[in-house]
Amino acid sequence: MKKWLEPFGTAWVGVSTHKLRSFLTVLGIVIGVSAVISLMSIGKGTQRDILSRLSSLGSDLISISPGASFTSGGVRGSVGSAQTLTQEDAAAIAQGVSFINLVSPTYSTRLQLVAGGENTNATVTGVSTDYLEVMRLKIASGAFFTDYEYQRGAKVLVLGSGVKETLFGDSDAIGQQVRIGNSVGFVIGVLESKGTGFGSPDEAVLLPLTAMQQIVSRTRTTQGEYVVSTIVLTVSDEKKIDNVISEITSLLRTRHRLAASASNDFTITSALELTQTVTEASGTLTLLLGAIAAISLLVGGIGVMNIMLVSVLERTREIGIRKAMGARERDIWLQFLMEAAFLTLAGGIIGVIAGWLISYFVSRTGIVSAAVTPDIVILAVSVSVGIGLFFGFYPAWNASRLNPIEALRSE
Amino acid sequence: MIHLKGITKTYLMGKRELEVLRGVDLDIAKGDLIAIMGPSGSGKSTILNLLGCLDQPTSGSYFLDGREVSRLNRGELAALRSQKIGFVFQSFNLLPRLSALANVELGMRYSGGVDKRRALDALARVGLSERANHRPNELSGGEQQRVAIARAVVKRPPLILADEPTGNLDSRAGAEVISILTELHAEQNITLVMITHEADIARHCQRIVHLKDGQVEREEKV
C-alpha cells in the first residue's frame, strides 16, 4: 500500500470493526445532510419558479397603482383601493416622460361571464392596444383588437386560455357570443397559456378600455376623468428605469397637486425591483430552511464526537502499542481524525444521494419543484467532512496525548 | 551502546512519592544479550520503559548510541523508538483486528514505511509463513509471541527489549520463543535486553543483572 494511503486503510479497519455502531453514527450525518439538501433544493426550486414567472413579464416593465405603498401616520387605504389614477395621467406620462416605450392604462373588475350554458366569474380588464406587447402576451388563436375597435369601444373579448377552457371547453371560441355583466361581447382571440400560478394571464379576460368604460358605470372622477386601476408601461432603455420612475413620480405629484409634505398617492413598481425583492426573500427562506436542517447535522456531529471518544477509550491499548512502535502524536492524531472524517464523508455522500432522491420525489408530486444545484451538493459534502474534522479533533487529540506506558497497561 | 548513569525514577502516588529507581548505573555494549532479574517492585519494568524511551528518568543520564535520551522531547523519543527499538511484551500486545501479517507490518509503519516482502520474510523467520493471514485469536500463545517477535525485528532495530516474553507461555512454547530470540540475536547482532523471572531462561544470556530495591544488586556473567 502506498504510504499516504495507509491512514485511509487504518481508518477503514477502525470503521468496519464496529459496523452497526459506525452505521448508526453515519445515519445521524445522513439525515442531517439529506435534510439540508432536500430543504435547500426545495427553497431554490421555489425561487426559480417564481423568478421564471417574473422574468416572463420582462425587466423593462413598470407598473403604477393608486394608493400609497406604506402608511406613515394615520390609516391609509391599501394599494389599488384608492381612485387616484386616471386615464389622463397615463396620457400625460406617455407624452411628458422620456425613455418610455409603450403605455397602457387598465381598468379591472370582477364580472360574471356567461357563454351558452357555462358561466364563470373572472377579472375583466379593459386595456389599450399596446397592452399585449407591454405584458409580453401572445395570441394563440384569433386576434387582438385593433386601434379602430378600440376607438369605437367595440365589445370584443380576448380570453385567457383558462377562461376559454371553462366557457367553451375544447370547441372553438372565436366569434362566440359572451354575456359580460349586463352587456354582450364577442370573442375575437384567445391568449397563449403561461401556466397557472403567480401572475398568470390564463384567467384574464381582456377588452378595449373604452368598451370597459361603457360596461362599468362610475368610472369617472368628480372632475370627469376616467379612473384606471393600474398603468403599465415599458421603458425603451432599462438602464434609465430609475430616471423614468422619478420623472413619473414628479409628474404625477404635480398633476395630483400634492403638497411637498404629502406622501405619494400612487405606487410605482418595476419588475426589476420585484425580481430583486423576490430573490432576496426566497434566498432568506432557503437559508432559513438550510439552517434548520443544519441543526440536525450538528446533532449528527455530536454523535460522531461521542463515538470517537468511546472508540479512543476502547482502543487505549492499541494506541499504546502504536506508540511503542514509534508512532508520533501526529500519527495517532491523524489516524483518529481520518476515522471521524471517513465516517462523516460517507454520511455526507449517502446523505447527498438520499437528499437528491427526496427532492426528486417532492418535485414529482408537482406541488413544489426542487432544484439540487452543484453548490448545495458541494456545500453539504464539505460541511459534513468539516464536521468530522471539527468533532473528531478533540477525541483525536485526546488519543495522541495518552501516556504510552499507561496506555499499554490498560485493558 | 547503552550507558546509564545515576538513573533515578520517582512516581507520585497521590501525595506520597514512590522512589522506584535509586541511582542505577549500567553499561550495555552493542550485541550484548542481557537478562534483568529481580523480585517484583525492584524496578525491572521501570528500567525497561526508560531503556525503551517510553519514559524519562527523574534524574541521571541515559545515552543511547551516543545520544542523551533524558534531554529529548516526546516527539524525539517517538522517533528514537521508531528507529532503534523493538518491543516484545509479556502479553504479546498484538492488534486483535489485524492479521499476523498486518501486525508485523505495523512494526514498520512508523519507521520508513511498510514493505510486505520484508514482513513475510520476518514471519518466515519465526516459522509462521502459513499463518500470515490468521488473526491473533486463531493462533496459540507461542505463535502469537512469535508474531510479536517478527513485528519487533522486522524494522531491523539495533535494540530489542523483551518484558518477560515467556511469562504467559507454557514451558515448551517458552523455550521455542527463547531459542528464536537468541538465534535472532546471534544472526543479526542485535542488542537484546530481557526481563525474566526464570533462572533457566536467564542462563541463555551472556550477563545477568540482578535488581533489588531500585538498585543494581549484582551482576554475573554466564
Q: What is the pLDDT along chain A (411 residues), one digit of tens a residue?
A: 455 667 777 777 777 878 888 899 899 999 999 998 888 888 888 888 888 777 777 778 899 988 875 544 444 444 445 678 888 899 999 998 889 999 999 999 999 999 888 889 989 999 999 999 988 888 999 999 999 999 999 999 999 998 999 999 888 989 999 999 889 999 999 998 876 555 578 889 999 999 998 888 766 777 778 889 899 999 988 888 888 999 999 999 988 888 888 888 888 988 888 888 888 888 888 888 888 888 888 899 999 999 999 999 999 999 999 999 999 999 999 999 999 998 899 999 999 999 999 988 888 887 777 878 888 888 888 888 999 999 999 999 999 999 999 999 887
Instruction: Answer whether A321 sits within 8 Å of B111, measured CB to CB.
Output: no
Confidence of residue B92 (pLDDT cuts 50, 70, 90): very high
B56 interfaces chain A, CB cutoff of 8 Å: no
A48 interfaces chain B, CB cutoff of 8 Å: no
Structural domains for chain B: 31-45+79-221 (3.40.50.300)
> What are the boundaries of each domain within chain A?
3-53+277-409, 83-264
Read out DSSP for A282-318?
HHHHHHHHHHHHHHHHHHHHHHHHHHHHHHHHHTHHH
Chain-wide mean pLDDT for chain B? 92
Of B55, B74, B107, the CB nearest to A325: B107
- Contact residues on chain A for B97, CB-CB shorter than 8 A: 13, 17
- Contact residues on chain B for A327, CB-CB shorter than 8 A: 78, 82, 109-110
Of A17, A317, A327, the CB nearest to B97: A17
Residue A279, Cβ density class (10 Å: 0-12 exposed, 13-18 middle, ≥19 buried) = middle
Of B74, B93, B98, the CB nearest to A408: B93
Of B98, B110, B113, the CB nearest to A325: B110
A5 interfaces chain B, CB cutoff of 8 Å: no
Q: Cβ distance B120 to B99 under 8 Å?
A: no
Residue A232: half-sphere exposure toward Cβ, Cα within 13 Å:
21
Q: Mean pLDDT across the stretch B153-158?
A: 93
- Contact residues on chain B for A3, CB-CB shorter than 8 A: 113-114
Read out DSSP for chain B?
-EEEEEEEEEEEETTEEEEEEEEEEEEE-TT-EEEEE--TTSSHHHHHHHHTTSS--SEEEEEETTEEGGG--HHHHHHHHHHHEEEE-TT----TTS-HHHHHHHHHHTTT---HHHHHHHHHHTT-GGGTT--GGGS-HHHHHHHHHHHHHTT--SEEEEESTTTTS-HHHHHHHHHHHHHHHHHHT-EEEEE-S-HHHHTTSSEEEEEETTEEEEEEE-
In chain A, the residue whose alpha carbon lies closest to the alpha carbon of B157 is A325
Task: Name residue, grid cell 420582462.
Answer: A58
Complex confidence, ipTM? 0.94
pLDDT given for residue A70 in this prediction: 52
